[in-house]
Chains A and B, each alone.
Chain A
Amino acid sequence: AQKITQTQPGMFVQEKEAVTLDCTYDTSDPSYGLFWYKQPSSGEMIFLIYQGSYDQQNATEGRYSLNFQKARKSANLVISASQLGDSAMYFCAMREVDSWGKFQFGAGTQVVVTP
């Protein structure tokens, strides 16, 4: 069963605007990690940000922040001040920490930043 849901297949955002990418997850494990990756057209998966299930504060990395709502099982990515180079596919992923193999990805959201 799919454990990571990204409901937005594609989004357009204007340069310098903020954009929120949705991600919901499903797990019964108390300990897990949530990740966001960026995949440009070149294919490489670039790690953006990580949120642990026990982290008290929302993770931030530069222009990226993760809006973690544990009770709702959501981990939305916010990209502030979008740049043309942000155009890419964005994947949400979850790792149930006790298992090496339980690292699952969502279907992704294609973001296109326009001038």
Chain B
Amino acid sequence: ETGVTQTPRHLVMGMTNKKSLKCEQHLGHNAMYWYKQSAKKPLELMFVYSLEERVENNSVPSRFSPECPNSSHLFLHLHTLQPEDSALYLCASSHRPNEQFFGPGTRLTVL
């Protein structure tokens, strides 16, 4: 059973739309992550939040805006995306260095 949920599971949006991805963890973890997984590329870490503070922002374009209102929820706000942003977006959470649990992902298609 995964303790990390993501909604929606699939999203199709136009380049002028604004949408948000949601991640929720029920594991009592204190760190949450957003990853991007494009075809034929390794997972790319986008953002890390520890105790609701952003601790890592890996040169992600400003059209991606994360929000972590509390330790259980993480959002990724999307606006004016490009077709190359189409990918699987994975959320993960952890409490200790030797673990990281992933959600099922949101498959995003930008038209």
Contact = CB atoms under 8 A, between A and B. Distances in A.
A101 B46 CA distance: 9
Interface residues on B, range: 20 to 34
B104 A103 contact: no
A91 B90 CA distance: 14
Nearest to B92: A45
Given A43-B107, A97-B97, A100-B50, A107 B41 contact: yes
B97 A101 contact: no
Contact of A35 (B40, B100, B104): B100
Contacts of B99: 47, 50
Interface of A: 2, 4, 33, 35, 37, 42-47, 50, 52, 91, 93, 95, 97, 99-101, 103-108
B42 interface: yes
A77 B33 CA distance: 25
Interface in B80-101: 88, 90, 92, 97-101
B103 A44 contact: yes
A103 B42 contact: no
B98 A50 contact: yes
Contact of B33 (A91, A103, A107): A103
6 contacts: A45-B92, A52-B98, A103-B33, A103-B100, A107-B41, A107-B42
Closest 9 CB pairs of A and B: A101-B56, A45-B102, A105-B43, A43-B105, A44-B104, A97-B97, A105-B42, A100-B48, A100-B55
A105 B88 CA distance: 15
